[in-house]
């Protein structure tokens, strides 16, 4: 198994980066959809149903598979000998950031269900602020992995 992980390192890393890009696209777009949904759409209207369809498909068809793939390929990289030095601080920062990003993903899923039930109580401003969370986490992750200042 270790030899397979080592031999496929560059493929695994490539698939991990592709998965992360796909996941990030959804994490950045879904809160923006929520902003427009809450500020521009009347609950129960045809447009409300259209937004719910777009949000559901983005979450289920793109974001969920991308998150799972990100985790699978990321764990494969972690298990590849010589890739992560756990005595350094950067992998711990990255791990905490990825866990926070995963929490945010699930928070978005819960907010989507609020729209489905017609019980959303959050404002466009809240979703605008929350839209910054994945960007901040992405910066922290990329700097941790590439520059390794920690």
Q: Is the pTM of this model over 0.75?
A: yes
Q: Quick check: helix, strand or coil at residue 41?
A: coil
How far, in Å, CA of 7 to CA of 4, rounded? Answer: 5
Q: What is the pLDDT of residue 2?
A: 84
Q: What is the pLDDT of residue 142?
A: 96
Give the residue extent of every domain in the chain: 2-147
Residues 72 and 130 sit within 8 Å (Cβ to Cβ): no
Backbone angles phi, psi at 145, to 5 degrees: -80, -40
The confidence band for 149, taking pLDDT boundaries of 50, 70 and 90, is: confident
- CB contact set of 32 (below 8 Å; sequence gap of 6+): 127, 131
Q: Quick check: helix, strand or coil at residue 2?
A: helix
Which tens digit of pLDDT belongs to each residue from 44-76?
A: 999 999 999 999 999 999 999 999 999 999 999
150 has a pLDDT exceeding 80: no
CA triple 124-55-106, angle to 5 deg? 80
36 has a pLDDT exceeding 80: yes
Q: What is the pLDDT of residue 61?
A: 98
How far, in Å, CA of 115 to CA of 111, rounded? Answer: 7
Q: What is the pLDDT of residue 145?
A: 93
């Amino acid at each position: 198994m270790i030899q397979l992980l080592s031999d496929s390192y560059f493929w695994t890393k490539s698939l991990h980066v592709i998965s992360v890009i796909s996941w990030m696209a959804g994490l950045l777009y879904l809160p923006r959809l929520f902003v427009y949904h809450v500020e521009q759409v009347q609950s129960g209207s045809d447009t409300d149903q259209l937004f719910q369809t777009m949000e559901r498909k983005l979450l289920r068809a793109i974001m969920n598979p991308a998150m799972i793939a990100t985790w699978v390929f990321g764990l494969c990289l972690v298990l590849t000998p010589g890739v992560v030095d756990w005595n350094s601080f950067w992998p711990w920062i990255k791990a905490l950031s990825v866990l926070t990003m995963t929490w945010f993903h699930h928070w978005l899923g819960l907010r989507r269900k609020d729209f489905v039930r017609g019980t959303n109580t959050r404002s466009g401003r809240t979703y605008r602020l929350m839209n910054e969370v994945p960007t901040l986490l992405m910066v922290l992750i990329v700097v941790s992995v590439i520059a390794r200042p920690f």
